[in-house]
Amino acid sequence: MAITSIKNLKEFSTVNERFEGAHLLCPGCAHSMIVRELMNATDDNLVISSATGCLEVCTAVYPYTSWDTSWIHIGFENAASAVSGAEAMYKARKRKGTLKDPDAPVKFVAFGGDGATYDIGFQWLSGAVERGHDFTYICLDNENYANTGGQRSSATPVGAHTTTAQAGRVSYGKKQKKKDMVAIMAAHGAPYVAQLAPNKWKIMAKGFQKALETEGPCFINTVSACTTEWKFDPKDTIHITDLATDTLMFPIYEIIDGHELNILYRPKNIIPVEEYLAAQGRYKHLFKPENKHVIERIQKEIDEKWEYLQRREESRV
């Protein structure tokens, strides 16, 4: 049964699973929480495409599969194309009357990491959204190419250490700002775009349901804390995600029809970003005296973004 009727996490843990627990994702990886929650957000049949990445390599190693639903993986860049092909075929066959069960309700979903979404699959996603296919694209944003051992992506934040944007004697890690994918997808005019996090699971479930129920292409960026590359203890995934949302490093909000912005979570006490950074190995070099300016820059950019989001929300435009 879909998650709508579930009141607490204990019940959540007993719902019918279409994503099997026996997968190869790291202990403490947030991917499986997000994927399971998406699949539990609806009772409809699902056709899912996955981009090459952690989720894909950990869930479909022949002769096993974790997917008790229709699932396809083609390549790193084309999950949005794969799902749009499936959706087009559904429309054609529905019209022609060749579906085995024409009344079975179905939702089309694509999963991609930030590598697949922000970088290599950007064009394919943009094309699929512009064409207006009825699908929901979920980005599992762990801010690096974790599947290949932690290289930079355009979702990697300023100051983070990755193997291709390293912190060293003369470097503080990544120099460039994170790409604002949520704004880019909203600018496509997608009917529903959001940024959600698995620690705020009720908000996330609602957002997923909204996306699945909205006709047309929807995009959701989810923060997926990466124990391996962010370097924290696997038991701390939700704690780290709490810090991400409560420092406003990851503000939780939605944009409807490309313009109507709603903030979905306001931390009671906004925590200084230092606390979030200090909890992860990928930022430890920022606490050297010569890198203090980077932490200041990160805090400043968070404050500015929060101010911007609040003004956008207030203005109702």
Partner 1 sequence: MADKMELNEVEVWDGNYAAAQALRQAQIDVVAAYPITPSTPIVETYGAFVANGYIDGEYVMVESEHGAMSTCVGAAASGGRVATATSSQGFMLMVEVLYQASGMRLPIILNVVNRAIASPLNVRGDHGDMYAGRDSGWVQLDAFNAQEAYDLNLCAFKIAEDVNVRLPAMVHQDGFLTSHTAQNVSPLSDDEAYEFIGDYKAIDEMLDFSKAVTYGAQTEEDWHYEHKAKQHRALMDSYVVIDRVFAEFKEKTGREYKRVESYMMEDAEVAIVALGSTVETAIQAAEELRENEGLKAGVVAPRCFRPFPFEDIQEVLKDVKAVAVLDRSCPMGAMGALFNEVSASMYTTTSRPIITNFIYGLGGRDFSLEDAKHIFREQKGHADVGYITTQIQQFSGLRGPKLGFFESKRSK
Out of 30, 39, 55, 86, the only residue in the binding site for partner 1 (CB under 8 A) is 86
Residues 91, 105: Cα–Cα separation, whole Å: 12
Question: Closest approach of Cβ 207 to partner 1, in Å?
Answer: 25
State yes or no: residue 229 binds partner 1 (CB under 8 A): no
Instruction: Decide if residue 166 touches partner 1 (CB under 8 A).
Output: no
Helix (H) or strand (E) holding 219: strand 218-223
* CA–CA dist 241, 30 (Å, integer): 9
Contact window for partner 1 (CB under 8 A) among 7-15, 93-101, 170-178, 302-310: 93-101
Which position among 7, 10, 95, 169 is part of the footprint of partner 1 (CB under 8 A)?
95
Does residue 245 belong to the site contacting partner 1 (CB under 8 A)? no
Instruction: Give φ, ψ of 281 to 5 degrees.
Output: -60, -30
Taking CB under 8 A as the rule, does residue 22 contact partner 1?
no
Q: Which of residues 50-79 bind partner 1 (CB under 8 A)?
A: 56-57, 60-63, 65, 67-75, 77-78
Asked if 313 and 262 touch (Cβ cutoff 8 Å), the reply is yes
Residue whose CB is less far from partner 1, 187 or 270: 187
Smallest gap from residue 277 Cβ to partner 1 (A): 35
What x/- string results for residues 106 through 135 when contact with partner 1 is judged by CB under 8 A?
x----------------xx-xxx-xx----
By the 8 A CB rule, do 39 and 46 touch? yes
Whose Cβ is closer to partner 1: residue 124's or residue 232's?
Answer: 124
The answer to whether 2 contacts partner 1 (rule: CB under 8 A) is: no
- 102 upstream amide cis, omega within 30 of 0: no
Of residues 2, 25, 26, 99, which one binds partner 1 by CB under 8 A? 99
Contacts of residue 77, Cβ cutoff 8 Å, sequence gap at least 6: 51, 116, 120, 121, 123, 124
Cβ neighbours around 11 below 10 Å, total: 12
Question: Residues 6 or more apart from 101 whose CB is under 8 A from it?
Answer: none
Backbone angles phi, psi at 198, to 5 degrees: -70, -15
| Residue 45 binding partner 1, by CB under 8 A | yes
Q: Is position 90 an interface residue for partner 1 (rule: CB under 8 A)?
A: yes
Q: Which residue blocks in 171-247 are alpha helix, DSSP H?
A: 181-187, 201-213, 237-246
Nearest distance from C-beta of residue 147 to partner 1, angstroms: 11
Q: Residue 204 is encoded by which pair of tokens? A: 């996330």
Question: Which residues contribute to the site for partner 1 (CB under 8 A)?
Answer: 45, 47, 49, 56-57, 60-63, 65, 67-75, 77-78, 81-86, 88-93, 95-96, 98-101, 104, 106, 123-124, 126-128, 130-131
